[in-house]
Structure 1
């Protein structure tokens, strides 16, 4: 068995007198949360997942399964299974955040080292920047589509789309500037509202299509089982990849939990229920669009643009903007802001990190990432899952199998401690990461082994996690069995 490396977390009295963190690894945003900051209840985590799930890219993800040939039962089953799978690493990585009050870029120092932690943090941050750009582009498109409904001449004015895009992007930046507590307020307020708006849209399309029978009567388009499985497995990987980013940086949220039970219960209920419920709305409405308009319309912005009724346009505008802003701030700003702050804590605060995220999101040209549903699902989602799956595998194995849920919080903010490894890098983690990413993505470029890419997240997670464990066996035996605090406690 691998020896456990432990040290009791210093209490609040010791923090002021003796805790002298390295300024290269510490600022107020990266510090462990105080008890007074732990205000998130079970409801807040349920609201977090409902607000992050009920947004346009979730709808489009579900709708793409219908457009790809699945019937509604196959699509719902694929989505539910994918979210139950990703819930596992989500809860495992969430544990450290709730227990120690630390964000993702600090947590990952335990496995990658204080300097090496910047590598997985930047991988996650760059993906989040891409998502931020995508969400901003969708929000801008939604506003532009509503403008066209109310002012048809704008359809032939490309500048309107760009102005709406930049305006929505700026609105997101304003929320970032106001800080993390504004995010909690926004999510708590919008979760029940989004549920109501989604049900209204479903009811309207149900009426237009003539009931659930016509809406859900379309059979699967796959003539053979082989054809179905060929589409199913990369689609399942995309479902897992959809939340692969948050499964890494979930400590950024659980560090504010009132208790371990509150975040576990909130997430275990909120993630699968919210995703399945809202995905069903996307599936049903897309199926109804086939009945009403003669073709499956997977993009809700395009769908709303076909109605040409101002009240529907206004309702759709409100729903899309609230949903898109919620997930953009909650899923795509909190994590990378902390990641960028981790690069230079003395220079980059949470706010500055959020601004960096916004500008990089623009630079990644989201209009190209969302060109087709194929590029969105099988290019973007599956592709980056191969980058993040290996990181998740290493983190889970390190925390639960190598360290047995014991971290030395004191040393996470210092150089030269038990997490220093070699010049701040853990060579074992880097080797496991590189091999995991290489094997997971090589199928993208070598058709003969394309199946590896179809399972990119799974391949990276298990390969990197298993390799990390084996390589750390020898290293862990050289670590001290225990460290004690100044009171002599373990």
Structure 2
């Protein structure tokens, strides 16, 4: 076997290693561009998106303007997702493991677990909404209704599905995506019909509010800041071309999802919320049509709700939450245990209470996650120039140990930028992201890098700390050893399960 570089970790340091958070090999990335786009179609159908669209028209904008602003905001956040996505496509790393670089091997847990708990809470919210829909279906077919029973059953089914691995998640998305699109189109024409019976033209309707379109734009960006930061959790499973040195060539399977599927589907869903508000004064089209519907049309609507919540929960909530819990205690928690743990936390978070304060919830965590996005971009592109000393990420006393396992530059930048962004929550994203980026670069260069040299930074533009763009994968070969290998060499040498 010819390896292009072997790196060592002492066996006693395997406390940071668990197979589901090891780098994915090039040959372990099964999701193509169509499957990844399908995942994003499901993710985009979130209940809060309806409210965003309604807020726009209630604030005085016409329907076409609202749809355009939402689409542009998602193109902007999609571009940021492309930047952080490269952490997964280039190195095969999960979000929480990567954060060991800017925050330290212990410092990573503060932002990572914060995001993990938010993801678990979203799992609870989506499960609750799906349970209400299942309750309606159960009443129609079985004459039985008890949303608590459906809530528990739906949670168990989703956890089991996600625990089966990424291929199971992709298969569900491929089933859900076309159904979601078809039923969403049907919802639009149904709501337009309701508006026409009231003598309302949905495209010329204009309310008397004075909401700033900039606020709507920023709110939508903050809304997706969660996945903008932890998108490597998904992109590490997206197919890549070995040796693709061009950024766009390496991430071409990601491009369609982030810059087409997300903006188009998000604009459609927000538009449905806007049309629902125009026609009835209620931003939730599901409630509107459910109140008027009957028979098979009602069942189809409720099926949309179930599919949307399910496909979103798998990829956007359970997987990110589970991986942060694994990173917290790799020797105690494996992938399946972590998925179950995330499901339990989310199910017990009283999501109906969170829904009553949804936009407060979105605003504050969006502020801190926007700052985190700025830190990630600063660290990965400006400081390390996409290079990472990946084996050191799994060492307890390596270069990412910093001061007692904490990189105070990253933590200070995050707390300060996130706190200021939260104070001005309406403009959180455009404050938190650039401020986090600038503070991290300044603190690293003035203080941290002088005391804690980083091999990949000091090496200049060497290719020794790249992976996919060199046609290689970071492979953990056991006994504390890492190697960069070609796809052919890597077969049979990784301890990772193929389906995770």
* Shorter-chain TM band: 0.7 to 0.9
Q: Could you tell me which of 358, 367, 370 is aligned with 1:376?
A: 358
Question: What TM-score results when the alignment is normalised by the length of structure 1?
Answer: 0.84
Aligned to 2:474: none
Q: What is the DSSP-based 3-state SS (H/G/I as helix, E as strand, rest coil) of the residue aligned with 1:29?
A: helix
- Is the CA contact (8 Å cut-off) linking 2:62 and 2:206 kept in structure 1? yes
The residue number in structure 2 matching 1:476 is 449
Maintained 8 Å contact 1:144/1:161: yes
Cα separation, 2, equivalents of 1:349 and 1:487? 23
Residues 1:34 and 2:25 are matched in the alignment: yes
- Mapping of 1:276-295 within 5 angstroms? 276-286=263-273, 288-289=275-276, 295=280
Alpha-carbon deviation of 1:354?
Answer: 1.3
* Residue 404 (structure 1) aligned to one of 368, 378, 385: 385
- The within-5 A match list for 1:123-162 is 123-147=114-138, 160-162=146-148
Q: Is 1:386 paired with 2:367? A: yes
Tell me which of 207, 211, 218 is aligned to 1:228. 211
The more displaced of 62-71 and 325-334 is 62-71
What's the TM-score, normalizing by structure 2? Answer: 0.82
**Alignment partner of 1:353 out of 289, 313, 338:** 338
Alignment of 1:21-420 (within 5 A): 22-147=13-138, 160-210=146-196, 214-222=201-209, 227-229=210-212, 232-259=213-240, 261=248, 264-286=251-273, 288-289=275-276, 295-371=280-356, 375-377=357-359, 379-420=360-401
Deviates more, 1:77-86 or 1:98-107: 77-86
1:119/1:214 CA distance change after superposition, 3 Å: same
1:14–1:469 distance in 2 versus 1, CA, 3 Å: closer
For structure 1, the 5+ residue unaligned runs are 1-9, 155-159, 444-451
Shifted more, 390-399 versus 72-81: the winner is 72-81
Q: Cα–Cα, structure 1 residues 141 and 410, in superposed 2: closer, same or farther, change >3 Å?
A: same
CA contact (8 A) 1:177 1:351 kept: yes
- Is the 1:394–1:465 contact (alpha carbons within 8 Å) kept by the matching residues of 2? yes
Q: Does 1:455 align with 2:427?
A: yes
> Do the aligned partners of residues 453 and 426 (structure 1) sit closer, same or farther apart at CA in structure 2, a change above 3 Å counting?
same
Tell me the distance in 2 between the aligned counterparts of 1:286 and 1:52: 16
SS in structure 1 opposite 2:386? coil
- The change in CA–CA distance for 1:188 and 1:149 in structure 2 (over 3 A counts) is closer
Structure 2 gap ranges (5+) = 241-246, 466-481, 486-500
CA spacing shift, 1:88–1:285, aligned 2, 3 Å: closer
**Residues in 2 aligned to 1:83 and 1:460: alpha-carbon distance in whole angstroms:** 17
- Distance of 1:244 and 1:185 partners within structure 2: 26
Separation of aligned partners in 2, 1:150 and 1:487:
56
Distance 1:337 1:265 in 2: 27
Q: Which string of whole-angstrom CA distances, capped at 9 and with x for unpartnered residues, describes residues 316-338 of structure 1?
A: 12211111100011100111111
CA contact (8 A) 1:146 1:314 kept: yes
> Residue deviations 1:461-484, cap 9 Å, x none?
221211111111133355252397
Q: Does the C-alpha gap of structure 1 residues 283 and 423 become closer, same or farther in structure 2, counting only changes over 3 Å?
A: closer
Change (3 A) 1:303 1:279: farther
Deviation at 1:215, TM superposition (A): 2.7
Name 2:475's counterpart in structure 1. none
- Contact kept in structure 2, 1:130 and 1:361, CA below 8 Å: yes
Equivalences, count: 453
For 1:128 and 1:197, the matched residues in 2 are separated by 26
